[in-house]
Structure 1
Amino acid sequence: MRRGPTNSLADVEGLRVGHAQRVGDGYRTGVSVVLAPQGGAVAGVDVRGAAPGTRETELLDPRNLVERVHAIVLTGGSAYGLSAACGVMERLADAGTGFPVEGGVVPIVPGAVIYDLGRGGSFRATPDAAMGAAAYDAALSSPGALSGGLPSDGAASPPRVNGSVGAGTGAVAGGLAGGVGTASAVLPSGVTVAALAVVNAAGSVLDPRSGLLSGVRYGLPGEFDHVGEPDTGEYERWSPQKAPSFNTTIGVVATDLTLSKAQCGKLAGVAHDGLARAIRPAHTMVDGDTIFAMSTCGLPGPDDTGLHDVLAAAADVFSRAVAHAVLHATGREGAPAYLDVFPSARSGR
């Protein structure tokens, strides 16, 4: 396997990702939107955490009617943040994109939330439909690539793939700053598998023996050469603040291989294995861990061996995405960055 050109969801042809966030005036939160290609994407979902906040997940059951989704929304704000999907739905409807019904279309926009309430100072400073629409617009502004959202001053920001952006703006991961992380893999068959994770975990993202980021172990050649195990003394001195009472890691795993809804559900389930490799413990009573899977159907469907390879890659890309989210997150009071806590982990020190 090798990394795709951007090591992100954008390596799955047809997918576009946009972020919008707000920091200041009581806010520290945001929205990330994954737009499907024209005609939608087959999708599935697997909800493992005990405290999920979700939208339209029942529709992704293989027994139910709709086959394709038009966008997936990942957002902060706990249950309040689900309103961000309304802004995305309005944008899609205005563009004539959705499930056709008499008189128009109904866009299919599943979503999931993380708990980041109050992390900017105001409990009710949460994403809304306008922020969802802004993330949608950011995705459209750079077709075929990831795009950054707008900072609080309204000025254009450069594209950002990983870190404290979008739905990961207010994220915390086991006492460290969390965020958005991405990764991709191109299989020998030419199939691409990629993931985007919003890491806001109650559990630790560190190997309990060494302090190394657990997800780094699944990196492809050269991917994490800049990070290693921290000095023993640094790790022994690390005493994270008590984790917030509610958390959640959410994300999307995607492929260009043609899959059914049932196979997408399996893909999402195996991606949870990658989550559990990178975060310990995972799927707790205070996490709402939810992963969506998307198939753009750009390549013919798999035989049994091809499906097995895609499933195995999905677990690894999600672990890698979790590591990138933490490595690139911006530290702040109460949630320091990983390399600020463990400077000795930076290779070449």
Structure 2
Amino acid sequence: MAVIAPAGDRITDVAGITVGHHHRIDATARVADPESPGAGWATGTTVIRIDAPSAVCAVDVRGGGPGTRETDLLDPSNTVQTAHALVLTGGSAYGLAAADGVMAGLEALGVGLPMDDQGHVVPIVPAAVIFDLPVGSWDRRPDAGFGRRALAAATVDVAVGSVGAGAGARAGALKGGIGTAGTRIADGPAAGVQVGAVMVANPVGSVIDPATGLPWAATALDLDTYGLTPPDAGDVARLGDLVAKQTVLNTTIGVVATDAALDPSSTRRVAMAGHDGLARAIVPAHSPLDGDTIFAVATGTVHPPQPDTVPPGMNRDVGLLAEVCRVAANVVQRAIVGAVLAAEPVAGIPTYGDVLASAIR
């Protein structure tokens, strides 16, 4: 049964953002290996719907092997500054077809850039993919139907773990998945602003330090947040054996959203800051084999009063932006770690709970 992220700690706490998943996972799914091909279905699609008229969108791509759609459109120097949905999906480049279904679904609802006075619209639907083709049969991957069903399922309730685009994800030697996190900033120039993230963890690197069996550089406060404690030596040794045998699968993708009012360049800065959280959670990150991509959305509904001490010629919202970026890195990190901790077994890939049961309080 899918785990639902609690209110107050999810991307959908940003008003106007909803998330929907669609996936297929067969009980007979098998991971491909040198001796035999994969079998069955183990893949999916996640759609982040944006229902905010003033939303600004941006993207930052850091991995050396990205699979993306409409990312050039989100360059702050270009004309279109928004999106109506964002697609995160399995299936490698084949999975980009899921965005066609999202476009069709939005068009049927009349959602998109208005093109004339006859109701014609063009939905803007950027997308990014993970490489999960060896998990299950190579030719069983998301298509337009996956995208349309994920769009139809979008709600404020966010399921996490081995769902949606995280269905076939692996995180180093362990099962990966999808996670979310969110925070409302309490004070300072960004007081009252909400920031959240949803991330699909499928990296070449590891989210768990094989020397400790815990998230990288986790503090005592981090362990309290994740509900973890140092595991026993036998469990850590088992993780080490798995790491020595792991195969290369790649790419962590996701979305950071805030209700702050930001311009396109500042929104891109939020996407860039999200990669700081990715690099804290995954070692190594941004490798030539990863396609690490983070989208950012600023819905534009909250703009706290800003100090009048900013020198002329600087971004007047620099204090607001700095706080949103700081929190963006934190929620991305927590969403990635949470994805691995919430993952359930798929195709025989071991989960964190399977291997390091003694670490779970």
The normalised TM-score by structure 1 is 0.88
Distance 2:204 2:147 in 1: 26
CA distance in 2, matches of 1:35, 1:218: 35
Extract unaligned runs of 5+ from structure 2: 29-39, 307-316
1:39–1:70 contact (8 Å) kept in structure 2: no
Between the aligned partners of 1:221 and 1:58, the Cα distance in structure 2 is 39
Select which of 167, 170, 173 maps to 1:172.
170
Q: 1:60: Cα distance to partner?
A: 0.5
CA contact (8 A) 1:274 1:317 kept: yes
**Could you tell me the TM-score, scaled by structure 2's length?**
0.86
Contact 1:4 1:184 (8 Å CA) reproduced: no
In the TM superposition, residue 245 of structure 1 has moved relative to its aligned partner by 3.4
Tell me, yes or no, if structure 1 residue 129 matches structure 2 residue 144: yes
Q: Once the 2 structures are TM-superposed, how far is the Cα of residue 215 of structure 1 from its aligned partner?
A: 7.8
State the 1:221 CA deviation. 9.3
Consecutive unaligned residues in structure 1, runs of 5 or more: 148-159
Alignment of 1:205-224 (within 5 A): 205-214=207-216, 217=219, 223-224=225-226
Which 10-residue stretch deviates more, 213-222 or 298-307? 213-222
What does 1:1-349 correspond to in 2, within 5 Å? 5-24=7-26, 26-39=40-53, 41-102=55-116, 104-120=120-136, 122-139=137-154, 142=155, 145-146=156-157, 160=159, 162-188=160-186, 189-214=191-216, 217=219, 223-224=225-226, 226-238=227-239, 239-240=241-242, 242-300=245-303, 303-347=317-361
Return the offset for 1:37. 1.2
Alignment deviations for residues 132-187 of structure 1 (CA, whole Å, 9 cap, x no partner): 00000001xx4xx125xxxxxxxxxxxx2x10000000000011000000000110
CA distance in 2, matches of 1:86, 1:217: 43
Q: Compute the displacement of 1:246 (Å).
A: 3.6
**Offset from partner CA, 1:88-144 (integer Å, 9 cap, x none):** 001111111111223511100000000010312x101000001100000001xx4xx
Deviations 1:246-269 (A, max 9, x none): 410000001000111111111111
Identical amino acids, percent of aligned pairs: 48
Residues 113, 219 of structure 1: CA spacing in aligned structure 2 closer, same or farther, 3 A cutoff?
farther
Q: Give 3-state SS (helix, strand or coil) of 1:69's partner.
A: coil
Distance in 1, Cα, partners of 2:98 & 2:141: 9
Once the 2 structures are TM-superposed, how far is the Cα of residue 244 of structure 1 from its aligned partner? 3.5
Q: Is the 8 A contact 1:11 1:194 kept in 2?
A: yes
Give the letter for the 1:344 counterpart.
S
Rounded to whole Å, the distance in 1 between the matches of 2:44 and 2:221 is: 27
Distance 1:64 1:277 in 2: 31
Which amino acid counterpart does residue 252 of structure 1 have in structure 2? Answer: V
For the aligned residue pairs, the C-alpha RMSD in angstroms reads 2.0
Which residue identity does 1:271 align to in structure 2? G
Assess if the C-alpha contact under 8 Å between 2:211 and 2:236 holds in 1. Answer: no
> After the TM superposition, which parts of structure 1 deviate over 6 Å for at least 4 consecutive aligned residues?
218-221
CA deviations over 1:287-341 (Å, ceiling 9, x no partner)? 1000000011111276322211110000010000011100000124552110210
- 1:257 alignment partner AA: A
